[in-house]
Structure 1
């Protein structure tokens, strides 16, 4: 980019960054202070290593989300970070010329131009005619300026494109972008693990609690977390496949376990389908590009090997499900350990001549230990000290010691003796597997345990096959480790009460989704302009509010001015509302347990007897728990006072258990306000909200609403249809028209074609990118993912990286002789 254009844009981005920080609500909680410290550190990092934005943007994009604290969701923290990125990057672009790291093909440039024109048309149709910049312009999905909120994702991707062309060489993507994706995935997965631990409980799989992790955009539902996990999980598998050391492989497996835990505990059927599609793509491409596949003479041997491996994997999965259904978590874990031990042992040169003696010694030792195991009379030994669990652990430690790398060195006889000891430990594992099943479920657990042991014995024959089905190398251990993690997580979750219930209601839910899609299409105007260019970006919430076929009036929150006084207006829904269908105004509070607080507020109401619900709850984003209701009852207006007059209330209450617990495991406490009424929408207006501790400390920030939505957020726990079309294809078709949908489809086809060509040449990174985009599209079949700007931006950046081509080396003319 010419310096005359780049540096003015850099100055403009820098000025916009400073203006945003001038108005940004940095107070009220530690996240704002952390963000204030992050920005100068990021600026210094960009000055030192300009290409580090390739790491920081994908790492921070999913987690730099402070809307629940600040109340800002039109201009977000990631926007400020991107303004700083553009300012620094464009300033460097305007300096001395540097060779480009990548380029775009003419077809890619044409597709990007068409997408940009369609985006501009949808943006203008959504925002025009310009509405007054009132209090609700930047804090309400019903505002015409919601078009800017959704449109900024494509704008950021186009602004970052020159920086990608400058910095995003293949080596830079491996060095910066891949670790950035992994870092973001690790933080999201840890956040999900924390949320599961603090709220429903880590092992509580029967609750209908669904995690949101750090994605505040899910306060009105949606699938932001699902879309992000679909985009990022394949890169954890890529890291595992590329691990160059034992410790890298272990870290990659740990990350994969955390990420798969987050994915399975979303209970999202769309995400499950996305992961299955990504794995099928990976499996298919791996078979196509296996070493020597192109030059191998066709024969039955490779095909037979693949079929036998698949048969073993299928049998193992079925038996593990059978074992879990009777012996629970402990039986499942023990069965996985036995099969894993067989996998490792089967690749060793086992001394079969020692097998009878090893089995006999193991059975004798097992019998003696089981008979002599101390069990206090009249009481049961607790935990892992119970006989079957302790002896299983002892046998596993004995097996690890016998097979530990370096322990089998020395003379051949010594190596055979250690392998004989390993066979003895394996026999004890098999015996204790049956004992664990008996201990947990009695005689019914013996058949699945016996079948698992039988399969494990068949696996031990691998070394006698020519060629063997597997060998002990890093690739096979990584595949088996990943498969074990997948099964250990998938089997308990899929068998849980809530997952079973969700799968059972799939057909019913699909009917509801189809009905919503038909209604969304019916709300689209029929003129040619709306068909070609769409109703406008971000226009669906307002369209649903005013034109939904059921004539429902969804709940709403707005801010108003009256004679210099500013307050919040809560409108109850205009239909029979149940739990989760209200719109709740939220603010996070540093509440203390067993403390007497006093809530004070002014209320004015209109309509048929609306009710103001006020409570303090343990809440992350959706699904409150452990609530303490504030005993507030609105009085009828006194005689002679107009019905629309303000009334003042002061209500003392006790916080009870709220705010208790260790710092890291303490559930966040939020104040909730919601308007509820009859089938007709009613309005409650609230002002001068205060929550004081016994010492007089004020807990609520911006309780007089003079700063409008600063520090206030909102949530709709279960009723999500007024805000989302629930289909990415329909979202594009309705909001951007046929032009937007077809231009993005062309971009996807170009990127997919290039990725598959690179995958056919053995590029594992291209395979991970293709699997990520495929999974994202599968999730998008049932949710409109592009209405979450940060998720849309990550998808667009991945598409751009897929379209990048290496710059050919400069042509050097040979000197004349």
Structure 2
């Protein structure tokens, strides 16, 4: 009889917050909670519901401390309602971050992991010891990176104080614009919030490393973050699809309409959507490659197609360059990570990648050739043949010459019969093509499932029929020009099929999922060619690239000329000071217009609305707007009081408009007579016949807007009331008693005064040479660690590097960091990359 084993004392779980650090975590949690409650209580719309939602979110972040890794990036492109609330300095995404910080730091302070009953690793157990070492390894922080992050924080704080001082000193109000002190805080909060969330990410990283919870080599923390980035991209892409469907049309690539999705920050131009797409597209590809289930793989494939559409409809040359280069870097880094062996050496992988790039380039040229004369129908027919070529080229490897001969003869015979059949059917060429494609797809699928080899010959015959039917579709739709182009391209596709069947290794992947990913890439590439070949707008943008670059260089020169003193050059003008400096300091008539809410001794308030100084048309008006519902059963009735010291013309409109581009409009112009202190009563009707309303699944939004049409004139406006045909008031805060609450401004076409249009020059202007050098240190240091440094072995390193490089390329032509939501994500990924360490197994 053996002695009973002595009871082992319960071992506390891995500590992620030391006893000395818990008071600090509790203090941070209290500050974040207090700030969030303050913002939620002041929210312009349903503050009680917002308070409740904030508290629930904070509780969820406490109970599920890893949830924010998914929900924060997923919510980023969706939670921006400034065009409804009128808030500019603060926004809904701030509440999301503050709630995540409140819950996360409270968890670190009051619910250490010991409370969950986890055990510490047993030193006698090699597996536990390895996990403990991995956790310590994950928590280890590179000292140089920490110093760099701290110095950049110091530069940001100096620029924040200089910006507030340059704006006349600190003063607080909820409705400050871009030329007032709180704009410095609006821009400075992004880096501060990124640093606030960084310890929580490191905590989750250490815990997921401790539990050895991995997915394709990435810890659970990184997998969750990657999934959240993909969900955020899905939200932005779906918003882009809705916007295109509601306004110009999904396939309208000729109208002067650039997608903005739900990034309200683009109300004065900029590239918020562009930067977000550049940051997130690499993670969508990662989700596709890491997909284990068929459903997740299909969802990731659909996401990449949606993302491709969103990228194309930005009509941004910077986005096209950034996505192409970042995905190229991703492929090269992936190839260099291949094991060095006879079958997968890094050099061979890179050469194979270059070959595939050449094939993609040929595919792009082929798509352009087909579409220019054959249109969508010919292009779809040819791409159906390409979709069959990818799996069939692999299946035919080792096929006998007899099978090839039989397949071609049978395919030609079937094509001849199909040609005769097409004369008897309505839309015969398309019906016959669909039948041939369905047969080929069926035979390929059956053969892959283990059917007799005779079905491979049937698949080849059906493929040949499909190829010839595609040429007939081109002939029937675009006559001989389209037929000639289609024959050239289809001959090339057939040659690739034959090469794939006889080559030592096919030029595309053998796995079906990888082939589908290649085909998805080809579809996106074809979409780009459609935009170039069939869209006059994009063609025009590329044709003016040289002139646009000259204009951008001139704008950069004007912007940098505003840095006059040594202090400006070394420490910067201050965060967020470019708009005000450019308005009032640039040479020429660059003032775009402005607004201000003023009060009088009796307590009433009114709006002072200024017209621009430059020559302008309809799109260059400076508008103060409010969201209103679309009315189609009668005119809007508008009343307001106005006065001006000089004669001016007031522009009044209700336009179907998402953000910048107007569709149907009801417009009235009113002349305001000069009168010293006397209000002029205005009562007009706005005809709604031009308003369409949109479909139920893609409704059009609308704005009521005020603008001054006369250059350099100021009009005072009070007691604005807009009524629908039933007499219901449609405006909130029409008397401006709550400042600019519910009101929102846009500068639809005149964007240069609001941005310096270069991310690096933006940092130079705001933070000076010192800040720019530190910023370059952050970015280059992160890229170096990911591509060639100590973090290059991490499974997510290529995706992070591609994300940051794409963002930097977009930033070569736009400011980006003046969009707080997007700047937060960039800074967060940069700081994570600087502290990243390879996963230790």
Q: What TM-score does the superposition give when structure 2 sets the normalisation length?
A: 0.88
Structure 1 residue 763: deviation in Å?
4.3
Question: Per-residue CA shift, 1:588-638, capped at 9, x if unaligned?
Answer: 11232122331111111123x2111001101000011111113x523536x
Name the CA distance, whole Å, in 1 between partners of 2:358 and 2:555: 42
Tell me if 1:596 matches 2:627.
Answer: no
| Structure 2 counterparts to residues 519-558 of structure 1, below 5 A | 519-527=558-566, 529-558=567-596
Q: In 2, are the aligned partners of 1:327 and 1:441 still within 8 Å (CA)?
A: yes
Partner of 1:741: 772
Partner of 2:415: 366
Q: In 2, are the aligned partners of 1:136 and 1:559 still within 8 Å (CA)?
A: no
Structure 1 residue 804: deviation in Å?
2.7
Q: In 2, are the aligned partners of 1:102 and 1:164 still within 8 Å (CA)?
A: no
Question: Per-residue CA shift, 1:95-149, capped at 9, x if unaligned?
Answer: 3655886342001111011101111110111112784777867421010221111
Partner of 2:232: 184
Q: What TM-score does the superposition give when structure 1 sets the normalisation length?
A: 0.91
Structure 1 residue 697: deviation in Å?
1.3
Name the CA distance, whole Å, in 1 between partners of 2:351 and 2:96: 54
Tell me if 1:438 matches 2:479.
Answer: no
Structure 1 residue 739: deviation in Å?
1.4
Q: In 1, are the aligned partners of 2:272 and 2:816 still within 8 Å (CA)?
A: yes
Tell me if 1:398 matches 2:439.
Answer: yes
Name the CA distance, whole Å, in 2 between partners of 1:396 and 1:63: 40
Q: In 2, are the aligned partners of 1:343 and 1:459 still within 8 Å (CA)?
A: no
Partner of 1:335: 382
Give the 3 Å change call, closer, same or farther, for CA 293–317 of structure 1 in structure 2. farther
Question: Per-residue CA shift, 1:283-306, capped at 9, x if unaligned?
Answer: 32233233435997899x888866
Question: Per-residue CA shift, 1:442-497, capped at 9, x if unaligned?
Answer: 11222222222222222222222234444521464144223222222111012221
Give the 3 Å change call, closer, same or farther, for CA 443–126 of structure 1 in structure 2. same
Structure 1 residue 351: deviation in Å?
5.1
Name the CA distance, whole Å, in 2 between partners of 1:524 and 1:745: 20
| Aligned mate of 1:702, from 733, 750, 766 | 733
Give the 3 Å change call, closer, same or farther, for CA 286–447 of structure 1 in structure 2. farther
Partner of 2:117: none
Structure 1 residue 374: deviation in Å?
5.4
Partner of 2:395: 348
Q: In 2, are the aligned partners of 1:221 and 1:720 still within 8 Å (CA)?
A: yes
| Aligned mate of 1:283, from 331, 335, 343 | 331
Task: Between 511-520 and 664-673, report the one with greater CA deviation.
Answer: 664-673
| Aligned mate of 1:716, from 740, 747, 755 | 747
Name the CA distance, whole Å, in 1 between partners of 2:781 and 2:488: 49
Structure 1 residue 35: deviation in Å?
5.7
Q: In 2, are the aligned partners of 1:241 and 1:478 still within 8 Å (CA)?
A: no
Structure 1 residue 650: deviation in Å?
1.7
Question: Per-residue CA shift, 1:9-37, capped at 9, x if unaligned?
Answer: 3222212211212211115xxxx898667
Name the CA distance, whole Å, in 2 between partners of 1:585 and 1:499: 30
For residue 691 of structure 1, give the secondary structure of its aligned residue in structure 2: strand
Question: Per-residue CA shift, 1:139-174, capped at 9, x if unaligned?
Answer: 210102211111000111121122122113452333
| Aligned mate of 1:235, from 274, 280, 283 | 283
Partner of 1:583: 622
For residue 538 of structure 1, give the secondary structure of its aligned residue in structure 2: coil
Name the CA distance, whole Å, in 1 between partners of 2:154 and 2:281: 32
Tell me if 1:77 matches 2:92.
Answer: yes
Question: Per-residue CA shift, 1:751-799, capped at 9, x if unaligned?
Answer: 1122114799664421111011001000111111111111110001101
For residue 611 of structure 1, give the secondary structure of its aligned residue in structure 2: strand
Tell me if 1:318 matches 2:365.
Answer: yes
Tell me if 1:689 matches 2:720.
Answer: yes
| RCO comparison, higher one (Cα < 8 Å, 6+) | 1
| Aligned mate of 1:388, from 406, 426, 429 | 429
Partner of 1:46: 61
Give the 3 Å change call, closer, same or farther, for CA 407–5 of structure 1 in structure 2. closer
For residue 537 of structure 1, give the secondary structure of its aligned residue in structure 2: coil
Give the 3 Å change call, closer, same or farther, for CA 602–328 of structure 1 in structure 2. same
For residue 786 of structure 1, give the secondary structure of its aligned residue in structure 2: coil
| Aligned mate of 1:196, from 222, 244, 247 | 244
Which residues of structure 1 form unaligned runs of 5+?
Answer: 811-817
Q: In 2, are the aligned partners of 1:115 and 1:740 still within 8 Å (CA)?
A: yes
Aligned residues: 784
Task: Between 177-186 and 447-456, report the one with greater CA deviation.
Answer: 447-456
Q: In 2, are the aligned partners of 1:594 and 1:654 still within 8 Å (CA)?
A: no
| Aligned mate of 1:781, from 812, 823, 828 | 812
Which residues of structure 2 form unaligned runs of 5+?
Answer: 1-16, 114-134, 207-217
Task: Between 739-748 and 244-253, report the one with greater CA deviation.
Answer: 244-253
Partner of 1:273: 321
Partner of 1:756: 787
